[in-house]
Amino acid sequence: MKFLAANSVGKQTVKLNNAPSVIATASIVGPKEGQGPLGQYFDKVLDDDLYGEKSWEKAEAKFFQEAVEKVIIKGHKDKQEINYLLGGDLLNQLISSDFAARQLGIPFFGLYGACSTMSEAMALGAMLVDGGYADNVVCAASSHFSTAERQYRFPLELGVQRPPTAHWTVTGAGAALVSNQGEGPYITMVTVGKVVDMGIKDSNDMGSAMAPAAADTIIAHFIDTGLTPNDYDLIITGDLGRYGKDIADELVKKAGYDISAKHFDCGVEIFSPSQDPHAGGSGCGCSACVLAAYLIPHMWDGTYNSMLFLATGALLSPTSSQQGESIPGIAHAVSIHRTK
């Protein structure tokens, strides 16, 4: 099949000829996340996950808003200089990001990609800037353990036992400021993922549900671009956790690419086993916070020169689960390089 779009590379990938720069990041996390292995890197660690509010939902909207305000300040911009805010969360009708956006007064695209939302925002934001439709775009995502548990699983008061495959939804928000100015790191390519569903129905095993979509996008990226795992310092998935990470590695290896030595999963890294997160972290805030606090800053300091970042999302809802539907997965990849 022939593609006529000038910037398309293969079937699912586009090349960004003007390579927008990530000029600032910001992150806010909850107490549990602050006690984890990456605790020292976050901009702010909350003492209380209610954050002085009357509900967890209000708390999530509050720290989403603060992450956006903080990244604008760190990028030495005014709100008036931000063309668009692209972001989302896990909740019905995106109430965390929507309610934050009504306070921020920035033109807003609300995105729902479940836990893949941060890479979706980065991909679309970079394309807006690369195409000349914006100078500065803020990309952000948030989640909260208690809001997600209440919506998707059980009331916390029940104290339901969680199986080993269950994930711990990250409480936190991460934001990145993508600009047509700056000295890198640069977003050079975007590979748009497909919805992949292998029939997993267990909402307590999200890693297995998302892993095939992650593998599909990674393989598509390599096929489209001709690149290999050796062309990246890191290949980063959002929140596959310990079980999903191993499945993704195996699926990609079957296609002829061994990513196991380069594969970094945010859900694995954000908590230590001693914190009992079971399979690991998840949620929109998981990859957003790790990207903002740890990964991009380590590109600024030269630790990493190139990475393929793909947050991974499970596209379920309480209704679909109650009706016995399986869990589709999605993953979008953003290629980021320290220099053009």
CATH node for 20-179 = 3.40.47.40
Round to whole Å and give the CA distance between 88 and 64: 9
Dump pLDDT digits (tens) for 268-319: 999 999 998 888 899 999 999 999 999 999 999 999 999 999 999 999 888 8
20-179 and 186-337, same CATH topology: yes
Query: What tokens does 313 get?
Result: 């999302």
CA angle 251, 259, 309 (to 5 degrees): 100
Q: Looking at the predicted structure, is the pLDDT value of residue 164 above 70?
A: yes
Domain 186-337 CATH (choose: 3.30.300.130, 3.40.47.40, 3.20.20.20, 3.30.420.40): 3.40.47.40
Q: Looking at the predicted structure, is the pLDDT value of residue 1 above 60?
A: no
- Residue 300, Cβ neighbours under 10 Å: how many? 15
In this structure, the strands spanning 136-143 and 8-9 are: unpaired
Dump pLDDT digits (tens) for 305-336: 999 999 999 998 888 888 999 999 999 999 99
Query: What tokens does 206 get?
Result: 């999200």
* E strands present in the chain: 8-9, 13-15, 21-29, 44-45, 84-88, 108-110, 136-143, 168-169, 172-179, 186-191, 234-237, 263-265, 281-282, 306-310, 312-314, 329-331, 333-337
Round to whole Å and give the CA distance between 327 and 340: 38
Per-domain residue ranges of the chain: 20-179, 186-337
Task: Show the DSSP H helices in 165-240 as ranges.
Answer: 206-225
Round to whole Å and give the CA distance between 299 and 338: 6
State residue 6's pLDDT score.
81
Q: Looking at the predicted structure, is the pLDDT value of residue 175 above 70?
A: yes
State residue 193's pLDDT score.
97
Instruction: Give the confidence band of 3 by pLDDT, cuts at 50, 70, 90.
Output: low
SS3 333: strand
Q: What average pLDDT does range 212-236 have in this prediction? A: 97
108 forms beta bridges with 85
172 forms beta bridges with 29, 143
Round to whole Å and give the CA distance between 46 and 160: 25
Give the closest residue to 244 by CA, choosing from 210, 219, 275: 210
Round to whole Å and give the CA distance between 104 and 100: 6
Q: How far is CA 180 from the centre of its chain?
A: 22
Q: What average pLDDT does range 80-94 have in this prediction? A: 96
Query: What tokens does 182 get?
Result: 């700056």
Residue identified by tokens 């970079």 is 126
Query: What tokens does 71 get?
Result: 């990244």
State residue 158's pLDDT score.
65
